[in-house]
Structure 1
Amino acid sequence: MNKKERLVAAIENGTVIDHIPAEKTYQVVSVLGLEKLTTPVTIGNYFESKKIGKKGIIKVSDRFFTDAEISQLSVVAPKAVLNIIHDYEVSEKKMVETPNEIRGIVKCNNPVCVTNNEPMETVFNVVDKEHGIIKCRYCDKEQDISKVKLC
């Protein structure tokens, strides 16, 4: 047999998040709250990728993500691909898509914004999906999504 060995073990059922920019892998873990799961989670990082150079991959056993959770991924990994696995086979592929609104995921970088001075959820409208420009609903400050801090 001349097959290459898999770098990360296959899962029976669950979700594989692939094509994560390597430097964003652990932010994906945080955004999705994967550190709180009690099912197996495999994290691989800095694998070679023809598409993005170096990539991360996360395999989450027995867990399927909602559309809202997938939208949250767009903040840190806008070109990630989710492979839905059933009986060790890919049954569906989902592309991460940026939603029109981002709630409670990122901080406003305007120090005088009410969200930085009161205990409240941040809300951003996505004004330019292609270039990753978001706008705070409270102070109207536009920000580059790749430069924001997570809540």
Structure 2
Amino acid sequence: MKTPMELKVKPIKNGTVIDHINANKALKVLKILGLPSPETGLTLAMNVQSSQMKSKDIVKIEGRELASREVDEIALISPQATINIIRDYKIIDKGKVNLLKEIKNILTCSNPNCITNTDEPVKSRFIVLNNEPLTLRCHYCERIMDQDDVETQFKLF
């Protein structure tokens, strides 16, 4: 009996693998991370079949570990993503992104009259009302923002 051919992606020696990204969200993750860049090796897989999800995206970044702020931003785009830290071809740390209860200084309020959108030195602050679907409330003006509002802040072009 013939076995189906499998796509083999070269493992990375050191870096980060972001797995279980919602399908078609990998490009937004790259935007958050400021990638691609000429000095960073990058592997991108989109709409890959998964046993845990209908389909998913995967991003492999060679020679780079993510900052906590980057992980917090990824959680806004894909709250079930997992982060694997790779050293010498081995997973040394694996964890899920964690959507914080309060999002500080990452997003801007969609209300143009909010104090955070003025010249006042006030940093944005949102309370997470719901994870699925994502719903946030501005701490200052109480504007409700949903997943679409959040994703527009990570525009690709």
- Interval containing the TM-score (normalised by the shorter chain): 0.7 to 0.9
Read off the aligned partner of 2:54 and give its amino acid letter. Answer: G
Match of 2:144 in 1: 142
Aligned length: 149
CA contact (8 A) 1:105 1:150 kept: no
User: Which runs of 5 or more structure 2 residues have no equivalent in the other structure?
Assistant: none
Give a deviation string over 1:68-114, Cα, whole Å, max 9, x none. 32122111010001111111121221101001322343332334334
Matched, 1:98 2:112: no
Deviation at 1:66, TM superposition (A): 2.7
Matched, 1:61 2:62: yes
State the TM-score, normalizing by the size of structure 1: 0.82
State the TM-score, normalizing by the size of structure 2: 0.79
Which secondary structure does the structure 1 equivalent of 2:36 belong to?
helix
Q: Once structures 1 and 2 are overlaid, which stretch shifts more, 52-61 or 36-45?
A: 36-45
Q: Separation in 1 of the partners of 2:29 and 2:48?
A: 16
Which secondary structure does the structure 2 equivalent of 1:16 belong to?
strand
Q: Separation in 1 of the partners of 2:37 and 2:137?
A: 30
Match of 2:84 in 1: 83
Which secondary structure does the structure 1 equivalent of 2:77 belong to?
coil
Match of 1:127 in 2: 129
Read off the aligned partner of 2:145 and give its amino acid letter. Answer: Q
Matched, 1:47 2:51: no
Identity of aligned residues (%): 34
Read off the aligned partner of 2:141 and give its amino acid letter. Answer: C
Q: Separation in 2 of the partners of 1:5 and 1:92?
A: 26
User: Which runs of 5 or more structure 1 residues have no equivalent in the other structure?
Assistant: none
CA contact (8 A) 1:25 1:57 kept: yes
